[in-house]
């Protein structure tokens, strides 16, 4: 069983991207309004990044393994 856990940890694809929040106040100002939590393999912690609609679309192309989380944020841009 411990082998399964170790194998799962070694197959993590970086960067790890998670939807964090949508800020409607920023959206009203036409500022990037969707924020993601991003962790790179080299970092011990994670960072919060604001992304525009075009940022999200580009990151879907670059990081298809994170498509689900990125699309969750993309739905806030019409």
Quick one: pLDDT band at residue 78, thresholds 50, 70, 90?
A: confident
Position 27 scores a pLDDT of 98
DSSP state letter for 1: -
Domain range list for the chain = 13-74
Q: Is 39 helix (H, G, I), strand (E, B) or coil?
A: strand
Is 51 within 8 Å of 42 (Cβ atoms)? no
The pLDDT of residue 2 is above 80: no
Retrieve residue 49's tokens: 């990044």
Position 5 scores a pLDDT of 52
How does pLDDT run across 17-74, given as a tens digit for each residue? Answer: 999 999 999 999 999 999 999 999 988 899 999 999 999 999 999 999 999 999 999 9
């Amino acid at each position: 069983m411990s082998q399964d856990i170790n194998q799962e940890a070694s197959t993590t694809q970086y960067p790890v991207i998670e939807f964090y929040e949508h800020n409607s106040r920023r959206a009203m100002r036409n500022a990037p309004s969707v924020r993601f939590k991003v962790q790179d393999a080299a970092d011990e912690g994670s960072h919060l990044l604001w992304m525009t609609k075009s940022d999200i679309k580009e990151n879907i192309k670059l990081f298809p393994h994170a498509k689900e989380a990125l699309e969750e944020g993309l739905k806030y841009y019409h």
